[in-house]
Amino acid sequence: MFRVLTVFLLISVVYAKHEIYEGASVYEFEVENETQSKIVYYMLQDQLGLDIWSHPGPSRSGMVLVPKNSKEEFAYKLKLAGIKFRATVDNIKEQLDIEERLLATASLRISSDSSSKAALTLDRVYRWEEIEEYMVHLARNYPDKVTLVNGGTSFEGRPINYLRISTTNFQDPSKPVVFVQSLLHSREWIGQAATLYAIEKLVVNNTDSDLINDIDWIILPTANPDGYIFSHNSDRFWRKNRKTGLFIADLCVGVDLNRNYDYAWGTESSDAVCEENFHGPGPFSEPETAVTKNILDEHKDRIEMFLDIHSFGSYVLYPYGTGELPPNALDLNLVGVLIGDAIDAVKLSANKNYTVGNSGLLLYPSSGGSDDYARKVGIPYSYCLELPAFRGSSSITGFLVDPEFIAQAGYETWEGIKAGARYVLDSYKMRR
Ligand SMILES: [Zn+2]
């Protein structure tokens, strides 16, 4: 079954095209002070409507994707403002083609190697349909541990399913719950490596019995299925959901789901539909964010840790996005460091160490994030993890995924999740 689906999907992958990104460049830029920072955001986001991939700080460059026809104006404006910049990728379409080729080759290799699949091999990017089929398969084959739950329906009508993993059918209130979700931002494909690896290590190949016996888990691999499918079929760098009816003739569509949760909603995000960080018509206006909300609300007394997996940048970020610190900020930082250290201990040397901090202070102010909402409703340990998507030495960058890194990404992130889970197991017991 898996194999047939794989081959079928592969055909559509191989012939997918990336023409919309022909000639688009990725630039790094630096800001030296607060004033420059304000100017650059105004120019890049409001004036040019560009997609900022990573935000600059005192000791790090920002990254921005600039379409071919905006390059001249981009250079003119930044020069005028005295902001340093340089192109790091001349034509991102070339890298998109490389990624597609690498992933297609990885898929072929796997599908011809395996005749029957009890588990997904963790060295390729899976399509939404494959992940769904896998979850159905797990629930059927491990009924004593795995329950498939339908959390709702996406804007385009797809089921948003997640797994409840428990040896006591979620009936034992003495156990804490750890909730992990990925692919809320659809282009951040590497995130599925973390959730699929977690499922593998909890259900199929469990070597840490305390984690499955003493903790209940909720794993939601594809939080934004419409966007994820669109990122495969049409636009690799699609971030938002696929909500329509927001703008004249649907010239711009989609809501940034990680600005749509109800914490300081609308204060540090965009009200312009065409922008990448458009927060939507209201808090929880989107069916996809309502799914996370309902899970958090339903189990808030037992969820001790929530992890929203994103990419890229190697960060463990904690609330609030506005820069305000929750009362347990020191504990959040401490557990964040445990998670980051555990990953750093086994990461590839070419990739940088994880940095831990409050997202608003460390990176840039934002509002309406999932981790903020989780903290607001009382989840003590709530984080956004920004995974690296590629090996530091590879020929692709940013959100693009090198299949040679997928298993490593799953493994190293799981080391971090384990460290966090073991800490919160104790903290939950002490709190009760
Ligand atoms: Zn993200």
For 340-371, the pLDDT digits (tens) are 999 999 999 989 999 999 999 999 999 999 99
How many Cβ atoms are within 10 Å of 170's Cβ, its own excluded? 18
Residue 377 belongs to some domain of the structure: yes
Asked whether 429 and 304 are in contact (CB, 8 A), the reply is no
Q: Are residues 151 and 220 in the same domain?
A: yes
Examine the domain organization and report whether 174 and 313 are in the same domain: yes
Residues 211 and 70 in one domain: no
Q: How many A from CA of 337 to the centre of ligand 1?
A: 20
Domain final position from 90, 124, 146 = 90
| Distance from C-alpha of 89 to C-alpha of 405, rounded to nearest angstrom | 20
My answer on whether 138 and 64 are in the same domain is: no
3 belongs to a structural domain: no
CA dist., res. 376 & res. 262, Å (int): 9
Any domain includes 104: no
Count of beta carbons in the 10 Å neighbourhood of residue 130 = 19
Query: How far, in Å, from the CA of 188 to the mean position of ligand 1?
Result: 6
Residue 261 placed within a domain: no
* Ligand 1 center to 321 CA (angstroms): 13
Bridge partners for 178 per DSSP: 217, 305
- Same-domain pairing of 328 and 412: yes
**393 lies in some domain:** yes
- How many other C-beta atoms are found inside a 10 Å radius of the C-beta of residue 151? 20
Q: Are residues 229 and 129 in the same domain?
A: yes
234-239, long-range: CB within 8 Å, 24+ apart, which pairs? 235/20, 236/18, 236/21, 236/96, 236/99, 236/187, 236/399, 236/400, 237/21, 237/51, 237/65, 237/187, 237/399, 238/186, 238/187, 239/51, 239/185, 239/186, 239/187, 239/276
Q: Is residue 127 part of a domain?
A: yes
Range 146-152 contact pairs with CB under 8 angstroms and sequence separation of 24 or more: 146/203, 151/220, 151/291, 151/294, 151/295, 152/287, 152/288, 152/290, 152/291, 152/294
Same domain (yes/no): 128, 84 = no
Give the Å distance between the CA of 256 and the centre of ligand 1.
9
In a domain, 273, yes or no: no
pLDDT number for residue 14: 47
32 in Cβ contact with 40 (< 8 Å): no
CATH number at residue 53: 3.30.70.340
What distance in angstroms lies between residue 117's CA and the mean position of ligand 1's atoms?
Answer: 30
Show the domain range for 77: 23-90
> pLDDT tens string for the chain (432 positions)?
455 555 455 544 544 579 999 999 999 999 998 888 889 999 999 899 999 999 998 788 999 999 999 999 999 999 999 999 999 999 999 999 999 999 999 888 765 545 445 567 888 999 999 999 999 999 999 999 999 999 999 999 999 999 999 999 999 999 999 999 999 999 999 999 999 999 999 999 999 999 999 999 999 999 999 999 999 999 999 999 999 999 999 999 999 999 999 999 999 999 999 999 999 999 999 999 999 999 999 999 999 999 999 999 999 999 999 999 999 999 999 999 999 999 999 999 989 999 999 999 999 999 999 999 999 999 999 999 999 977 766 789 999 999 999 999 999 999 999 999 999 999 999 988
125 and 29 inside one domain: no
| Of 35, 56, 90, the domain-final residue | 90
Closest to 396 measured CA to CA, from 388, 407, 384: 388
Task: For residue 62, report the distance from its CA to the centre of ligand 1, in Å.
Answer: 15
Q: Are residues 229 and 375 in the same domain?
A: yes
Give the CA-trace dihedral at 350, 96, 46, 371, to 10 degrees.
Answer: -60
Do 211 and 291 fall into the same domain? yes
Q: Both 125 and 43 in a single domain?
A: no
Q: Return d(Cα 209, Cα 421) in angstroms, integer.
A: 13
Segment 244-256, tens digit of pLDDT: 999 999 999 999 9
The CATH number of the domain where 174 resides is what? 3.40.630.10
The residue out of 34, 55, 90 marking a domain boundary is 90
Active site residue 386: yes
* Same domain for 285 and 398: yes
Q: What is the tens place of the pLDDT at every residue in 124-140?
A: 999 999 999 999 999 99
Domains: count for the chain = 2
Does residue 109 lie within any of the structural domains?
no
Q: Tell me which of 188, 386, 412, 415 is the catalytic residue.
A: 386
pTM of the model: 0.94
DSSP β-bridge partners for residue 165: 146, 217
